A and B are shown apart, each in its own frame.
Chain A
Amino acid sequence: NAGVTQTPKFRILKIGQSMTLQCTQDMNHNYMYWYRQDPGMGLKLIYYSVGAGITDKGEVPNGYNVSRSTTEDFPLRLELAAPSQTSVYFCASRPSSSGGFDEQFFGPGTRLTVL
C-alpha cells in the first residue's frame, strides 16, 4: 500500500492564480481531511469528507473548495491564491468505525508559497 499520496510536493503561485492539490489514498478509508500547517500554529482543518459525495467545512475553509467523487481521491482547490495561503498542506485519511479511536494517516505534505 502506498498509503496517502499528495502532489505536488512544492509549488510557487502568483497572487490570483489557481491550482489543485491532489490527494489519493489506497486504504479504502471513508474519512478524509485537509489541513494547513503554519509555523507555531499546529494544524488547522480546512475541509473534510465522510465519504464519496459528502464534504463539509472545517475551521478555515475560506478561499478553498473540495470535491469527493471517489473514495480514493480528495482534491483541494485554490481559486484565487493569496499570500495568506502560503502554508504546508496535509491530506489525511481515517477508516470509518464505530468510534473515534482510529488514527489518521497523513500524506507527506505540499509546501505552497504564494508571491
Chain B
Amino acid sequence: AQSVTQLDSQVPVFEEAPVELRCNYSSSVSVYLFWYVQYPNQGLQLLLKYLSGSTLVESINGFEAEFNKSQTSFHLRKPSVHISDTAEYFCAVSGYSSASKIIFGSGTRLSIRP
C-alpha cells in the first residue's frame, strides 16, 4: 500500500519570495511521483512528474521538485513566487502497474501576499 503526506496544509508567502511545499511518501515498491495544481474553482492539472533518471524535475512555470529516495520525499520548490501561483498543490504517487491508482496527498494551499 502507498500513502502520501503533505506536511503543511497552508503556506503563506510574500510575492517574489522562495517557497517549498513538502511531500513525503510511503511505499513498499517503486513509485512514480507527481505534483498536481488546482487553481481556484478549477480541476486539478499536472504540474510535473518524476518517472526515472535525473532526480530533479522542472515545470514550465519555474517550479521544480527533487526526488530523494533515502528520505522518501518529493518536495516542490520555486525560487520566486508570483500572485498567479496562488493555488492548492497536491502531491501524488502511483505504482508501476498500468492498473495502479494514483494516491493523492491532502493538499497544500499556497497563498501569495503582495
A103 and B104 within 8 A (CB): no
* Residues 89-114 of chain B, each 1 if its beta carbon lies under 8 Å from chain A, else 0: 01000111111111011110000000
Bound Cα distance from A41 to B42, whole angstroms: 17
Bound-state Cα–Cα, A109 to B44, Å: 9
B25 within 8 A of A: no
A interface size (C-beta, 8 A): 24
Question: Which A36-77 residues sit within 8 Å CB-CB of chain B?
Answer: 40-43, 45, 48, 50, 58
Q: Is B45 an interface residue (CB 8 A)?
A: yes
- Name the A residues within 8 Å of B107 (CB-CB): 40, 42
Q: Which residues of B line the A interface, CB within 8 A?
A: 9, 32, 34, 41-46, 49, 51, 90, 94-102, 104-107
Q: Is B94 within 8 A of A101, CB to CB?
A: yes
CB-nearest residue of chain A relative to B105? Answer: A42
Establish whether residues A99 and B44, one from each chain, have CB atoms under 8 Å apart when the complex forms.
no
Among B41, B44, B45, B49, chain A packs the most CB atoms within 10 A around the CB of B44
Residues in B with CB closer than 8 Å to A103 are 34, 46, 49
- Chain B contacts of A58 at CB under 8 A? 101
15 A-B contacts, Cβ less than 8 Å apart? A40-B9, A40-B106, A42-B90, A43-B90, A58-B101, A100-B32, A100-B99, A100-B102, A103-B46, A106-B45, A108-B41, A108-B42, A108-B43, A109-B41, A109-B43
